[in-house]
Homo-oligomer: A and B are copies of this chain.
Amino acid sequence: MHCLVTGGAGFIGSNLVDRLLALGHDVTAYDNLSTGFRRFLAEAEKQPRFRLIEADLLDTARLTEAMKGVDFVFHIAANADVRFGTEHPSKDLQQNTIATFNVLEAMRANGVSRIAFPSTGSIYGEAAVIPTPEDAPFPVQTSLYGASKLACEGLIAAYCEGFGFQGWIFRFVSVLGERYTHGHIFDFYRKLSADPTKLHILGNGRQRKSYMYVHDCIDAMLLAIEKPQGKVTILNLGSPAYVEVNDSVGWITGHLGLKPEFTYEGGDRGWIGDNPFIYLDVARIRALGWEPKLGIREGILRTLDWLRANAWVYESRQ
């Protein structure tokens, strides 16, 4: 089939593009290259079944044109910057909520009706139930990022009901692996490269996080779209385990052979709106036959090794 991947030059998007091409699909990547890297698509661009459209999701004319002949949309593009949402509140509205509306309208204009969408475990706010199931008590949002993903989920579900779309909504924990270009491992490795003798940590280091390896994440999405559960399929995707930030710090510094002095800032959360503990109940996706292939520690170290071998991503992020 012909898949359109928004954010196709990004971390998760480009890994998905490569996988879809390997499976024999035609792939259009749609990306404005604001945070994605054309270099991530070097292998994809060698294939005739691939095309990159360098354009913005707010450019509805280009988007509608790009959607022609598409069978399935993976709408991966997003402002994924949870932490700095309050510095530019319109970013989540524009790049997440309005962009998703534009994707849905471009689909409708072209008779495209199937969409997979990465949402976030942040949507559960300060979850009342942990591990948090998909039908947890109606949450209260704690970040602009979570609020915008909630808005996108609502839009997709309403299009499924109102326009006969079929949607898959995946609520992710943090994802890591090859081509990871933001987040705590990215930040820690940059800081340690600049000064191996100390490491400053946001929060008290006891924040518990449940990371997922990018190829496990892609496995889960591709499995789920083969097994729709109705108009809207909502699935948590995450590891059936969690670690503390301090665990991660220990593995990273140990792997690098460093013994920095640690300093901490803030209490049980790294910043306003940070969730000290996002841990999702992944029983639904496991019941479909999915199991992660990589543990959290292995995922962290594989990410670290990729960053060490690809220092250019730091230079490009200046």
Contacts and interface: CB of A to CB of B under 8 A. Distances in A.
Interface of A: 85-86, 89-90, 93, 97-98, 101, 104-105, 108, 124-125, 128, 134-144, 146-148, 150-151, 153-155, 157-159, 161-163, 232, 234, 272-273
18 contacts: A85-B162, A93-B155, A97-B151, A135-B137, A138-B139, A140-B157, A140-B232, A141-B158, A141-B161, A142-B158, A144-B155, A147-B151, A147-B155, A147-B158, A148-B154, A150-B150, A150-B154, A151-B154
B136 A137 contact: yes
Contact of A151 (B90, B124, B125, B150): B150
A143 B162 contact: yes
In terms of DSSP, what is the predominant structure of the interface of chain A?
Answer: helix
Nearest to A272: B162
Contacts of A147: 151, 154-155, 157-158
Contacts of A138: 124, 134-139
A90 B106 CA distance: 12
A59 to B, nearest CB: 16
A267 to B, nearest CB: 15
Nearest to A143: B158
Nearest to A231: B140
A140 B162 CA distance: 13
A148 B101 CA distance: 11
Contacts of A153: 141
Contacts of A163: 86
A132 B134 CA distance: 18
A153 B139 CA distance: 11
Nearest to A154: B147
Nearest to A150: B154
What are the 6 tightest A-B residue pairs by CB atom distance, in nearest-first order?
A: A147-B154, A151-B151, A135-B137, A147-B158, A141-B157, A86-B162
Given A97-B97, A162-B272, A135 B144 contact: no
A280 to B, nearest CB: 12
Nearest to A164: B272
A38 B89 CA distance: 34
Contact of A161 (B104, B136, B143): B143
A70 to B, nearest CB: 19
A153 B154 CA distance: 12
